């Protein structure tokens, strides 16, 4: 069989929906790779440069925008975040599935640049539950929580641009659904069907 090009998956959803956990589980599957973003946000405790993010200054980030190095970039809660383009394209070319954990603004830019990307939206069961989860983390001030809840609603309003949605009220079920979506998408007949047909033609000629 000819080597398949990988698929690009965008996973978005308000912070506190369990998006990170879903991504971490998907990455345990063979063939899936995570795209490491660049950000101007400072590292949190335990975060590793080059693994969680490439942590850079605003100047370096802007140089990268000007050089056209991003597939998408956005301002999220006053920090800049961007997806390095070459890294994503190289991996897809090598037949790997690439997972982007990015916000909705970024997701929409990816869809525009690469319409074949599969966009998955992770929803909280309710805003009240989202509030409980954000408060439970204990990392945010009350003011920041209000801001995140307002932002969550703004993001949810754009769900119509996405291909799939997952309501995360049980993390195991949410992960299982995300895996099913990825499996179904891997079996979708691609735009470029010639390589598939060629394999069978070659086999037929060899007889």
Nearer to ligand 5GP, 86 or 191 (CB): 86
Contact predicate 151/184, CB 8 Å: no
Within residues 67-106, the interface with ligand 5GP by CB under 6 A covers: 72, 74, 76, 81-83, 101-103, 105-106
CB nearer to ligand 5GP: pick between 64 and 83: 83
Total of residues contacting ligand 5GP (CB under 6 A): 14
Cβ-closest residue to ligand 5GP? 106
The residue (of 7 and 19) whose beta carbon lies closer to ligand 5GP is 19
Over the window 116 to 155, marking each residue x when it contacts ligand 5GP by CB under 6 A and - when it does not, the resulting string is: ----------------------------------------
Residue 41 binds to ligand 5GP (criterion: CB under 6 A): yes
Q: Which of 6, 8, 15, 121 binds ligand 5GP (CB under 6 A)?
A: 15
**Residue 97: CB minimum distance to ligand 5GP, A:** 17
Q: State which of residues 6, 16, 22, 37 lies at the interface with ligand 5GP (CB under 6 A).
A: 37
Distance CA 104, CA 53 (A): 18
Q: How far is the CB of 10 from ligand 5GP (least distance, A)?
A: 9
Going from the C-alpha of 89 to that of each of 55, 83, 96, 117, 182, the distances in angstroms are 21, 11, 10, 12, 18
Binding site for ligand 5GP (CB under 6 A): 15, 37, 41, 72, 74, 76, 81-83, 101-103, 105-106
């Amino acid at each position: 069989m000819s080597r398949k090009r990988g698929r690009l998956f965008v996973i978005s959803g308000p912070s506190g929906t369990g998006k990170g956990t879903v991504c971490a589980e998907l990455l345990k599957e063979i063939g899936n790779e995570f795209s490491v973003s660049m950000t101007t946000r400072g590292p949190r405790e335990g975060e590793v440069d080059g693994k969680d993010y490439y942590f850079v200054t605003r100047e370096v980030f802007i140089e990268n925008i000007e050089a056209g190095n991003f597939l998408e970039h956005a301002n999220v809660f006053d920090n800049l975040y961007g997806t390095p383009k070459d890294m994503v394209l190289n991996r897809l070319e090598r037949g790997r599935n690439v997972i982007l954990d990015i916000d909705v603004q970024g997701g929409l830019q990816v869809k525009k640049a690469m319409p074949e990307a599969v966009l998955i939206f992770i929803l909280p069961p309710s805003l009240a539950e989202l509030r409980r989860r954000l408060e439970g983390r204990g990392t945010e001030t009350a003011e920041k929580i209000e801001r995140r809840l307002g932002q969550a609603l703004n993001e949810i309003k754009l769900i119509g641009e996405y291909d799939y949605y997952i309501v995360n009220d049980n993390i195991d079920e949410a992960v299982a659904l995300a895996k099913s979506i990825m499996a179904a998408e891997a079996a979708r007949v691609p735009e470029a069907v010639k390589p598939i047909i060629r394999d069978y033609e070659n086999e037929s000629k060899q007889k």
